[in-house]
Amino acid sequence: MDWTALKDQAIAFISEAAHRLYDPALRNLDIDTKEDADDLVTANDFAVQHFLSDKIKQAYPSHFVIGEEGEQYKNIPDHTITWIIDPIDGTTNYVHQYMNFAISIGIYYKGEGKVGIIYDVMADEMFTAVKGEGAYLNGKKLYPRKSIDFSRAIIGFNARWLVGSAGPKTKEVFAGMVRDVRATRSYGSASLELAYVAAGRLDAYVSMRLAPWDYAAAAIMISEAGGECTPLFDGDELFTESCSVLAGEKHVHEEMFARCNGQ
């Protein structure tokens, strides 16, 4: 398989789908919620996923598609090329702010990430990666960064899960990290924040719980940009239905992982 050619075709699909999201005439905000009343989904989440799925299946009938707004995630088939789609990552931002949301596609074969694409629709920023060929932002290569001291790090995370579901020990550990780093940020879109790690805008990103479509694309580009993307806790495993995720510049990742696992 020519993975670069497949990346280019996926970019074409995403660019066409994005028109529905940035054209006000097509902006359908028929809003519903998922199990969590604050987890929003719009008609365009489904429309974009259906559009992408149809395009993929027409062009590549043997490929498999997994999407956020579809059948419940089980696992990545190891016998065929699999596209993992998040049609709008950051739906709450799409509804309330009309910025900081993205279309994300990760392409995997036999459990290995081959192509990752994250498109910030309103900023017109296309983050891309092909395994073994590097990561790029709008065609400009993203190079591995020099290690920085933890005290200079800027970390992305959403404090809501920390306040709501984290245990006392985890809260204590994170309170210490927040005090020790330069700053924290939260943009409301996991895929974008992970792409920012690859691009060097964030030094790390952490979440207690993400689904595969949240990080499938970003995991490839972070690796290609010289970073690390792993579970936050020992015993967790990526590409299960839901797991913790820690991504970052290698030194910052190592420090955060050690602190969170009592090392």
Annotated active-site residue 82? The verdict is no
Binding site residue list: 68, 86, 88-89, 214
- Known active-site residue 89: yes
89, 193, 249, 255: which one is catalytic? 89
Question: Is residue 14 annotated as part of the catalytic site, yes or no?
Answer: no
Structure tokens belonging to residue 165: 């579901």
Residue numbers belonging to the annotated binding site for Mg(2+): 68, 86, 88-89, 214
91 is catalytic: yes
Active site residue 68: yes
Tally of CB atoms within 10 A around 141: 11
Element (H, E) at 125: strand 125-130
| Token pair for 40 | 């929003």
Q: From residue 108, how far is each of 33, 84, 230, 233 by CA, in Å?
A: 29, 8, 17, 24
Of 42, 82, 91, 184, the active-site residue reads 91
Distance between CA atoms of residues 172 and 169, nearest Å: 5
CA distance 64 to 195: 24
Three-class secondary structure of residue 24 per DSSP? helix
Q: Could you confirm whether 240 is annotated as catalytic?
A: no
Burial class (CB in 10 A: 0-12, 13-18, 19+), 192: buried
Q: How far is CA 38 from CA 93, 96, 111, 130, 204, in A?
A: 12, 12, 32, 34, 25
H helices of the chain, in order, are 3-22, 43-59, 91-96, 159-164, 168-180, 190-199, 212-224, 250-260
The one catalytic residue among 14, 45, 56, 68: 68
Of the candidates 14, 56, 88, 222, the residue annotated as catalytic is 88
Catalytic residues: 68, 86, 88-89, 91, 214
